[in-house]
Structure 1
Amino acid sequence: MSNPAADRPLRVAIIGAGPAGVYAADILTKAEREFAVSIDLFDAYPAPYGLIRYGVAPDHPRIKGIVNALHKVLDRGDIRFLGNITYGRDLTLSDIRSMYDAVIFATGAIRDADLDIPGIGLEGSFGAADFVSWYDGHPDVPREWPLEAREIAVIGNGNVALDVARMLSKHADDLLTTEIPENVYRGLKASPVTDVHVFGRRGPAQVKFTPLELRELSHSRDVDIVLYPEDFEFDEASDAAIKTNNQTKTMVNTLTNWLVEEQDTGASRRLHLHFLHQPVEVLGEDGRVAGIRFERQELDGTGNARGTGEYVDYGVQAVYRAIGYFGSELPEVGFDARRGVIPNDGGRVLDEAGQPVPGIYATGWIKRGPVGLIGHTKGDALETIGNLLEDRLNLPAAERPEEEAIIELLAERGIEYTTWEGWLKLDEHERALGAAASPVQTANGPVERERIKVVPREEMVQISNK
């Protein structure tokens, strides 16, 4: 094994241009070192930002700040973005390793975790990740979504569950100030929904969402929040968490305040928050969702829940499971099918024998699983980059390390890739679409549209490369 030449930059490929990939690239460029680095950031989508563009609700309160931070990193010009390139199809691992000294996988986790209960496969039962992809204008999902239910169950007590519930219950006109695509606005506008129920397995002190996400629920116009006194149970572990954790204390205070406040304002839609409910079966009629059955739970003193033997049914016509994301296996790279991650030690990818594979690394959710907030990926990236730099002298040197080698290969294969300059064109185009459609007359009065997101992949590529 030979180490990369000392008289040229260290060539690094990062697969995935979401927060994990961008943070890794940024940390590598800023690391203390006595050698140059050259980084190419690849993504399967024509546009950068990954989860921020295609996995977060368009009205998410923090989305603009995160996008601005990622934009600043990529706009510096020292990291090259190459989009519309699918790893495993357009480029193989052998291709990448021949042109880079190291490769970092930052592909995230984009599919729904399974919920193994009877009836989960009925028509009208959906994964939250698929719904999020639809309302975020993912280029590879159908343009229409079956929004036919008046009563909907959302299973889960994390931020994604709240995003999904908020998007389902919110009036479409109130989303026009976001980058919501036209097809999504039309679909949500026609939705007949009246009640959205969010179910968690444990108590109010064990929820996994954050205070900001919780408070955001109360900002939806003409939507009542409904809670139930019988769901407010606190054990010794709950009391300890409330006393020692400010976030838990804030959320419990918010929920209990809502509980004692007047809930019925006569709003046309209601968002119900239920706790201590374990789903056991999705009920069907003629092959479609007709309800959902839960076993009531009780806390066991440690903050965990156990069944009471009491069952309760809710009549709903759609079920969304938001119990977590799960990673997808990548060609030519090991995969832990139980955890949904690439096997690794501190970001160093491991082979079947548990030994590090020289020059291959992972960061973000594909490294540690889909837990934590976006900001946690910075710590992940710092660890991975630290280990990569520690390994530098033992990395297998690229055969064709020149920066134009990858461009020549893409051209040779006829792959229509996009660039950062192309993204700036698309960004400007989407903003212009928003300006041209403004102001929009809504029930709340005229609103300005900041942008309208372009959805079709071919159109995104065309605009980027014109």
Structure 2
Amino acid sequence: MAFCRAKTWFSRSFSSLSSNPLRVCVVGSGPAGFYTAEKMLKAHQGAEIDIVDRLPTPFGLVRSGVAPDHPETKIVVNQFSRVAQNDRCSFIGNVTLGSSISLSELRELYHVVVLAYGAESDRVLGIPGEDFAGIHSAREFVWWYNGHPDCKNLDPDLKSTDTAVILGQGNVALDVARILLRPTMELAKTDIASHALAALEESSIRKVYLVGRRGPVQAACTAKELREILGIKDLNVHIQESDLLKSPADEEELKNNRIQRRVYELLSKAASGPSLTSSGQRELHFVFFRKPDRFLDSGDRNGHVAGVHCEKTILKESVGSGKQIAVGTGQFEDLECGIVLKSIGYKSVPINGLPFDHHKGLA
């Protein structure tokens, strides 16, 4: 029904395209889409803009990607709502580019088509065992606890294990770790999806490992996100002090990047802080200089993940780039767990009629 209404809207609105000064279609109703529409409305008086989305509701990443305990970030929806209420702007939901309408049809209907649909798929590691049960992408987990319709039935098993491994140390990885470790009494005051809150209330997870290929100097998170997770009440934080040793190249990186410097300082302070030992204590382990080599099979749970076989790494300067990259040492260790969340980056999805780099996952 929504698709038919959209088709009717398109045919009625564009029966005489040449008579209008500027008609713009923005595909995707997340921040990129709304900021584009806002700029277009201000820069081109008289322009009419349609924002289309495959979901029935707008705001994309703000609705499904921002952690529920970050309400201050979501305030931007007020600005986006004002854009949508502009007489020259319309939102049309339940329209999927490629099936509801093709890119070539949009090009015929509009003077300008802006693709702002984001990255709705995940990068893969390409290592053995990646299809085991109990392994999810961080995107899926975030969508699950934010109530995104695509992942409402994800049903991650949080009862059968007390240990989770998160691959990655960026802000999304920290968001996921914080949701797993934060007291549910606090989460209940947020707009977290009810099904996720119920599952987290019954969760057995008490230990979370955040695994990164490089060291604390290269951690991809921001100081704000790191400070927030380190501030969780009664959380026992584990960081190997030997991982905090800096090379001359590390010193150079810190000298030139204030954000990295602040993150390193916070990690150093956490490593030297007192260790809590109360019963049932929740633990956060920062594991540096490790890269996943393969996933371990429990052997008795139908291909369910039982851990991650990691290769120890060292940093070497990349020729020509001046950056330090992680290279394997041939030494390995296992991290036992019952659930793995991969926070290794997103990739876009291809659209007919648009060149697409499948290796990079970019249009």
Could you say which TM-score interval applies, normalised by the shorter chain? 0.7 to 0.9
The correspondence for 1:249, drawn from 256, 261, 264, is: 261
Deviations 1:321-371 (A, max 9, x none): 1100111112332211111121xxxxxxxxxxxxxxxxxxxxxxxxxxxxx
* Contact preservation (8 Å) 2:47, 2:88: no
Partner of 1:181: 193
Deviations 1:261-302 (A, max 9, x none): 113253621111111111111111221111211111222355
Structure 1 residue 17 corresponds to structure 2 residue 29: yes
The 4+ residue runs of structure 1 with deviation greater than 4 A are none
Task: Using the TM superposition, give the Cα deviation of residue 182 of structure 1 relative to its aligned residue in structure 2, in angstroms.
Answer: 1.1
Partner of 1:29: 41
The alignment covers a number of residue pairs equal to 337
Distance in 1 separating the partners of 2:83 and 2:231? 32
The correspondence for 2:329, drawn from 308, 311, 321, is: 308
Structure 1 residue 65 corresponds to structure 2 residue 75: yes
Distance in 2 separating the partners of 1:187 and 1:114? 26
Distance in 2 separating the partners of 1:117 and 1:181? 32
Task: Using the TM superposition, give the Cα deviation of residue 96 of structure 1 relative to its aligned residue in structure 2, in angstroms.
Answer: 2.1
The correspondence for 2:296, drawn from 269, 279, 283, is: 283
Structure 1 residue 48 corresponds to structure 2 residue 58: yes
SS of the residue corresponding to residue 116 of structure 1 reads: coil
Distance in 2 separating the partners of 1:94 and 1:281? 43
Moved more, 291-300 or 41-50: 291-300
Partner of 2:351: 330
SS of the residue corresponding to residue 133 of structure 1 reads: helix
Moved more, 330-339 or 200-209: 330-339
Q: State the Cα RMSD in Å.
A: 2.0
Partner of 1:146: 157
Distance in 1 separating the partners of 2:273 and 2:232? 17
- The AA in structure 2 aligned to 1:64 is K
Alignment of 1:229-378 (within 5 A): 229-264=241-276, 266=278, 268-286=281-299, 287-300=303-316, 302-342=323-363
* Contact preservation (8 Å) 2:222, 2:263: yes
SS of the residue corresponding to residue 49 of structure 2 reads: strand
Partner of 2:117: 107
- The AA in structure 1 aligned to 2:248 is E
Alignment of 1:68-217 (within 5 A): 68-143=78-153, 144-148=155-159, 149-217=161-229
Partner of 1:447: none
Partner of 1:373: none
Partner of 2:13: none
Alignment of 1:211-226 (within 5 A): 211-226=223-238
Distance in 2 separating the partners of 1:136 and 1:221? 23
- The AA in structure 2 aligned to 1:213 is E
* Contact preservation (8 Å) 1:25, 1:39: yes
Q: Which has the higher contact order (CA 8 A, sep 6+)?
A: 1
Task: Using the TM superposition, give the Cα deviation of residue 62 of structure 1 relative to its aligned residue in structure 2, in angstroms.
Answer: 4.5
SS of the residue corresponding to residue 113 of structure 2 reads: strand
* Contact preservation (8 Å) 2:63, 2:74: no
Distance in 2 separating the partners of 1:152 and 1:145? 11
Gaps (5+ residues) in structure 1?
Answer: 343-466
* Contact preservation (8 Å) 1:150, 1:192: yes
* Contact preservation (8 Å) 1:225, 1:263: yes
SS of the residue corresponding to residue 304 of structure 1 reads: strand
TM score, norm. by length of structure 2: 0.87
Distance in 1 separating the partners of 2:92 and 2:203? 38
Distance in 1 separating the partners of 2:354 and 2:275? 52
Distance in 2 separating the partners of 1:42 and 1:331? 17
Task: Using the TM superposition, give the Cα deviation of residue 155 of structure 1 relative to its aligned residue in structure 2, in angstroms.
Answer: 0.4
Deviations 1:186-209 (A, max 9, x none): 011111001010000001111111
SS of the residue corresponding to residue 238 of structure 1 reads: helix
Deviations 1:73-120 (A, max 9, x none): 334443211112222222223432332112111110021110111121
- The AA in structure 2 aligned to 1:25 is A
SS of the residue corresponding to residue 63 of structure 1 reads: helix
Distance in 1 separating the partners of 2:250 and 2:324? 6
Report % sequence identity.
Answer: 36
* Contact preservation (8 Å) 1:203, 1:234: no
Rate the CA distance shift 1:106–1:84 in 2: closer, same or farther, 3 A.
same
SS of the residue corresponding to residue 198 of structure 1 reads: strand
* Contact preservation (8 Å) 2:104, 2:353: no
Alignment of 1:384-423 (within 5 A): none
Task: Using the TM superposition, give the Cα deviation of residue 305 of structure 1 relative to its aligned residue in structure 2, in angstroms.
Answer: 2.2
Deviations 1:387-430 (A, max 9, x none): xxxxxxxxxxxxxxxxxxxxxxxxxxxxxxxxxxxxxxxxxxxx
* Contact preservation (8 Å) 2:135, 2:340: yes
Distance in 1 separating the partners of 2:195 and 2:110? 41
Distance in 2 separating the partners of 1:133 and 1:339? 23
* Contact preservation (8 Å) 1:235, 1:299: no
Rate the CA distance shift 1:68–1:225 in 2: closer, same or farther, 3 A.
farther
* Contact preservation (8 Å) 2:234, 2:276: no
- The AA in structure 2 aligned to 1:24 is T
Moved more, 18-27 or 143-152: 143-152
* Contact preservation (8 Å) 1:202, 1:304: yes
Distance in 2 separating the partners of 1:127 and 1:80? 33
* Contact preservation (8 Å) 1:227, 1:273: yes
Distance in 2 separating the partners of 1:29 and 1:271? 47
* Contact preservation (8 Å) 2:157, 2:339: no
Distance in 2 separating the partners of 1:58 and 1:271? 20
SS of the residue corresponding to residue 41 of structure 1 reads: strand
